[in-house]
Amino acid sequence: MEIGETAYKYKDLYVELENYEKNGVPMHLEGSPASPLQIVTAHMIREEGCYMRDYVMDEKGYIESLIFVNINGNNQAKNPLNAPEDDSTERQKRYS
């Protein structure tokens, strides 16, 4: 991928995340609240691994929150969606 292509990729990601933010969708990175800029910066500086998006939907199917988790082998436990099934209500409170 050329440098120009990479810059456009990150710009597109930023614009997408900014739209989520404008629509009131909270975003988290590794379990902490994060802005679009923080998420894009994390994508840009990561050395190993990559980030997976987890969408938390409400009962009507709308995106309630967006969570980014680094999916290299060591960070799976930090994914808030890996909680036990009976913990879903509490998990939604924390990440909304």
C-alpha to C-alpha distance for 45 and 43, rounded to whole angstroms: 6
For residues 61-83, average pLDDT? 71
Give the confidence band of 30 by pLDDT, cuts at 50, 70, 90: confident
Q: What is the DSSP string of 20-83?
A: HHHTT--EEETTEE--HHHHHHHHHH--S--EEEEEEE-TTS-EEEEEEEE-SGGGGGG-GGGS
Looking at residue 23, its pLDDT comes to 95
Looking at residue 83, its pLDDT comes to 47
Count how many residues are written for the chain.
96
Domains in the chain: boundaries: 3-94
Looking at residue 77, its pLDDT comes to 44
C-alpha to C-alpha distance for 62 and 55, rounded to whole angstroms: 9
Looking at residue 3, its pLDDT comes to 66
C-alpha to C-alpha distance for 42 and 36, rounded to whole angstroms: 10
Instruction: Specify the amino acid at residue 48.
Output: E
